[in-house]
Amino acid sequence: MKTASGIFYLLIVTATANAQPVVAAGGIVNAATYAHAGLPNAGIAQGSLFTIFGSGLGPAASPTLAFPLVTTLGGVSISVLQGSTTVAAIPVYVGPGQINAIMPSSTPLGADNLTVTYQGQTSAAV
């Protein structure tokens, strides 16, 4: 019986470790105001810090940030897409329920789509 429960536990841990990241509805906000889209001061400017809330977004503990900043931290990367243009945001904190990142200065203006990739699994575009 111990063997069966051990295998079941291993399957659950493996499935959880490889689960697709999920960005919460309304979960992308300006890090300074936490205002949701459509509200005053909700815009995310090029070069500014923004926050992504959701589940399965990253590791249990964020790795230490080092310079120069890179587009992957703790196995997490963020793509911002508009039309045929894709840019990579710069994560500065990653965790299972929250990511803080810098919006690249080269991000196209206007409404963009965003995806989070963690451990080879990519979220739905938001």
pLDDT tens for the chain, 126 residues long, are: 455 544 444 444 444 456 899 999 999 999 999 988 788 888 899 999 999 999 999 999 999 999 999 999 999 999 999 989 999 999 999 999 999 999 999 999 888 999 999 999 999 999
Q: How many domains does the chain have?
A: 1
C-alpha span between 118 and 52 (Å, rounded): 13
Contact 57, 98 (CB under 8 A): yes
Range of 99's domain? 21-122
What pLDDT shows up at residue 17? 55
* E strand spans, 18-57: 22-30, 49-55
pTM for the structure as a whole: 0.83
Is there a domain that residue 90 lies in? Answer: yes
Give the per-residue pLDDT at 117.
98
**In this structure, what CATH number is given to the domain that contains residue 105?**
2.60.40
Residue 12 within any structural domain of the chain: no
Per-residue confidence (pLDDT) for residue 2, from 0 to 100:
53
Cross-strand bridge partners of residue 2: none
**Residue 46 domain-assigned?**
yes
C-alpha distances out from residue 16 to 19, 48, 59, Å: 5, 32, 12
